[in-house]
């Protein structure tokens, strides 16, 4: 299925049914009085989060969603039937924004979370309600109210605990394959990942976290170069970023230090809050280095970056160092949860 993470739709709630102006007509009852019923309410439109959906592809082409009108009122005190509501199922992580004002209407973070997108119009009032001691034969009634109408922007931000950052071909897809059951495409050329992939990393029987792999970034991504800028938003909900660096690029003219610094620069340029997230350095593809020079080359790279935070040396292809990395991530996430609970966050 094609991955679609943005769409624009129009939602039009149903109009309320009109009230009725009717009078009772029966044999031997010459002045039966008013008996016009109210109109039914128009159909409303709701959105509900569904964890079984992972893309907005259904809304790329089905742009207009229109609820039905309420039934008009009838004579003999009969009220019109209300129209059925429409429920739009969307992936968990969908942010719904009013395209005209930019106001966020809903952020669907939980499975089965439901929100009202457009309210149906109220039904009109029949002449039954206008009778009084001085108005015995009212002919007044009201029309049904129009339903709400909005143009909405849908934006999917995947829910993951850990996000992978890095240049194309840094080994992000290989890492997520090594530590989870996810099977993204892996090849020896850049941009093999064309859309985000999620993998469940199970550390122990009851300890796990979700890892997200997005297309690789290149210099100028914040201005739209390459693919990664489109998917950086998927890292917004993550709690930890892993910055993967290829320590043994096939092209000897490539400087891993310069490329790593370029990624950090793009991250800051794109979103300051994303730049401020906890970020660990992961030096990958160490199996490509001579065994006696690995430590020396990795230390030199860390010094060149001026890296002061946590760093790990791994080979996603052979699995070397991956277990230690996943356990460290799990401990970090658990500690963060404990601190968040203690502070009431």
Q: 162-343: CATH homologous superfamily?
A: P-loop containing nucleotide triphosphate hydrolases (3.40.50.300)
What are 111-161's pLDDT values in tens digits? 999 999 999 999 999 998 999 888 888 989 999 999 999 999 998 887 788
What are 160-197's pLDDT values in tens digits? 889 888 887 788 888 988 888 766 544 443 444 446 77
Q: 6-156: CATH homologous superfamily?
A: GTP1/OBG domain (2.70.210.12)
Write out the H or E segment, with its range, that includes residue 22: none
Q: What is the pLDDT of residue 193?
A: 44
Buried b (16+ CB within 10 A) or exposed e, 223-247: eeebbbbbbbbbbebbbbbbbbbbb
Domain residue extents for the chain: 6-156, 162-343
The alpha helices in the chain, defined as continuous H runs, are 58-61, 172-179, 228-231, 256-270, 272-275, 294-305, 322-343
């Amino acid at each position: 299925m094609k991955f679609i993470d943005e769409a624009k739709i129009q939602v039009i709630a149903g109009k309320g049914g009109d009230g009725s102006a009717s009078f009772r007509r029966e044999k031997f009852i010459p002045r039966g009085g008013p008996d016009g019923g109210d109109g039914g309410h128009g159909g409303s439109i709701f959105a509900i989060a569904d964890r079984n959906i992972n893309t907005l592809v259904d809304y790329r082409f089905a742009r207009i969603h229109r609820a039905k009108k309420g039934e008009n009122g009838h004579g003999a005190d009969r009220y019109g039937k209300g129209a059925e509501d429409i429920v739009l199922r969307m992936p968990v992580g969908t942010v719904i924004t009013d395209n005209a004002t930019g106001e966020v209407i809903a952020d669907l973070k939980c499975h089965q979370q439901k929100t009202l997108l457009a309210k149906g119009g109220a039904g009109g009032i029949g002449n039954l309600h206008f009778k009084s001691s001085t108005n015995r034969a009212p002919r007044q009634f009201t029309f049904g109210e129009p339903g709400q109408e909005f143009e909405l922007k849908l934006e999917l931000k995947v829910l993951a605990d850990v996000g992978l950052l890095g240049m194309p071909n840094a080994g992000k897809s290989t890492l997520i394959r090594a530590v989870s059951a996810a099977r993204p495409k892996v090849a020896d050329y850049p941009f093999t990942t064309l859309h985000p992939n999620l993998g469940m990393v199970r550390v122990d029987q009851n300890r796990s976290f979700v890892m997200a792999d997005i297309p690789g970034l290149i210099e100028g991504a914040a201005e739209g170069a390459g693919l990664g800028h489109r998917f950086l938003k998927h890292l917004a909900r993550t709690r930890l970023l892993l910055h993967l660096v290829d320590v043994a690029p096939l092209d000897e003219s490539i400087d891993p230090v310069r490329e790593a610094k370029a990624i950090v620069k793009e991250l800051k340029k794109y979103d300051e809050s994303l730049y401020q997230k906890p970020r660990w350095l992961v030096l990958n593809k160490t199996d490509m280095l001579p065994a006696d020079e690995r430590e020396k080359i990795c230390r030199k790279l860390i010094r060149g970056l001026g890296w002061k935070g946590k760093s790990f040396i791994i080979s996603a292809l052979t699995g070397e160092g991956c277990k230690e990395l996943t356990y460290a991530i799990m401990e970090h996430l658990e500690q963060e949860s404990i601190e968040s609970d203690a502070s009431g966050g």
